[in-house]
Chain A
């Protein structure tokens, strides 16, 4: 199967989406200090995974669906969700995409194909398979993108679902973002394959589906690998497991603290827990966002000035989103009683 490589326009679009995700996440982080207290609970950022998200979703077509985890800010941005409504949701406001009922961990935008997010590790994987069953019955070649972390592959839900998805040839693409950590536990500490020096994609062999490891910091590499998986799924040949190797550039999430303690993002656990500053700094040097920008500028696809203009445009967009969210009112109290039942 040969795939067309992305055109210059598509590559610029990819960079734009990567910049938007990065800027959105930077603004979430900054909001903890600029507007202390407005973000509650736990947020998990996608910085470092932008290339993987954008590369994978470059194959998303209308009618497809994507499902993900609590680390869910990147996907809807790439799918077309309004960042104002996302930021308002993260602040628990009336204009939030989920009316303030879900928050950072549960962003959902059905209109744009972002079907749902579970905060329970691994629990969303079968949901994606269920949506893929619906797609299989509709017989329109639609596929489902299922995003989760490396840690989730230790859950029964992962194994049960890959078995069934393969058996039933469901049109689903399992994209495991392997960032090397489950909070403060390294893959080698919790995964028999990793401990034996094997890629996590090898788990696919148990379930008789393609398992491919890809550099998740390169959007074109991800797009190529996911492209093959998507083509396979659309053709009715069943699921694939993509292990996309990324490095999260922030800590797992903001600190966990009772009300009254100002929340913030600490340094990455490689530094705070393992004292491996060099590991983190190497990841920073390989930061996918400036790297892809540099690549496009170097290859002449984008001028330096145009790239700067993109940065400025994205910064302005996300600035508006934060201001919109902060100004959005809280939902009416009695709205807490809505939407319990359909």
Chain B
């Protein structure tokens, strides 16, 4: 085990796979521009390249390379930049396996940071995960710990499908214990970050930390919160969530996106349909307010879900129902 910052853990996952599989490529903007760049030095320019600012071509090239047998990892930096190439992400990469009747595989990873609520204002702070979650053929990964960042990246590279790897920018320098050597975290297996018997909270990315903070506060009041981190939202481990709700009878979903663009809302709908008989109270959602993320610090903090709003939602869900 090593203490690594989240961002280094992602790189460790990429290295792990590039060392074992010569078909893995790594490319994107503003990387690999010198011969001593760590990836260039180890793997060479056949596999590691800087690209121009051409997201459509970058992702499109990844698709073609994947169909031709390679495993590209595209460094996109910010999830918003994928919007420029939304056709390639949503309407090309995940379509080919299906439309060809299974003749091709499109194994690629789109590495994109998101949610940078650090004064980046309106265009670099979005929590766009739910945009990708419902696209058949895409897998969507949202690590919240350094260990998962490595293990989920490695699994994403080995997966035979297009994977959107959404890493939260506010976690970039968070340190965590990261297993040395080969480390893989399976897709579709949620992590229970804290156990509790009164209320279930489901959260992803940085919101997991805030949910854990809220849970600590609530424990002092005698409310025991279980915090579930799905880790991958497509595939989604609904079973772990339903099992928890069967125990607690209460669900709060926390999501950094505006209410009608959340992963949490989709999870709430699934639990309402498949776990209704377990519920003692209506499901509550804690989301960003329905605005573009503002620049000014207090306004940004007002818009993004914080521990106080999560605590408040848990108290309310404890008071409602039977």
Contacts and interface: CB of A to CB of B under 8 A. Distances in A.
Interface of A: 65, 67, 96-102, 106, 108-111, 115-116, 118, 120, 123-137, 144, 156-157, 160-161, 163-164, 167-168, 338-342
Interface of B: 25, 46-47, 49, 51-52, 54, 56-70, 72, 87-88, 91-92, 96-107, 136-137, 139, 160-161
Contact of A118 (B92, B97, B98, B160): B92
B64 A160 contact: no
A99 B101 contact: yes
B64 A133 contact: yes
A339 B102 contact: yes
A274 B182 CA distance: 65
Contacts of A65: 68
Which secondary structure characterizes the binding site on chain B? mixed
25 contacts: A96-B101, A98-B99, A98-B100, A98-B101, A101-B100, A101-B101, A102-B100, A106-B100, A108-B104, A109-B103, A116-B64, A118-B92, A123-B88, A126-B63, A130-B66, A130-B67, A131-B68, A157-B56, A157-B60, A161-B57, A164-B51, A164-B57, A167-B52, A341-B139, A342-B106
A110 B46 CA distance: 24
Contact of A135 (B47, B61, B68): B68
Contacts of A339: 97-98, 100-102
Nearest to A135: B68
A132 B92 CA distance: 18
Contact of B56 (A97, A132, A156): A156
Nearest to A341: B161
Contacts of A137: 46-47, 70
A134 B65 contact: yes
A110 B97 contact: no
B99 A160 contact: no
A190 B294 CA distance: 39
B91 to A, nearest CB: 6
A2 to B, nearest CB: 31
A101 to B, nearest CB: 5
Among B66, B72, B87, chain A packs the most CB atoms within 10 A around the CB of B87
A342 B107 contact: yes
B64 A129 contact: yes
Contact of B96 (A116, A126, A129, A132): A116
A126 B68 CA distance: 13
Given A134-B68, A137-B47, A164-B51, A108 B100 contact: yes
3 closest pairs, A vs B, by CB? Answer: A130-B64, A126-B60, A99-B101
B97 A130 contact: no
A340 B60 contact: no
A342 B161 contact: yes
Contacts of A134: 64-65, 68-70
B117 to A, nearest CB: 30
B139 to A, nearest CB: 8
A130 B68 contact: yes
B61 A133 contact: yes
A167 B96 CA distance: 27
Contacts of A128: 64
Nearest to A134: B68
A110 B137 CA distance: 19
Nearest to A126: B60
Contact of B101 (A102, A127, A168, A342): A102
B258 to A, nearest CB: 28
Contacts of A123: 56, 60, 87-88, 91-92
Contact of B137 (A144, A164, A340): A340
A241 to B, nearest CB: 15
A95 to B, nearest CB: 11
Given A127-B63, A133-B64, A338 B69 contact: no
Contact of A101 (B67, B68, B98): B98
B54 A97 contact: no
Contacts of B98: 101, 339-340
Nearest to B105: A342
A100 B60 contact: no
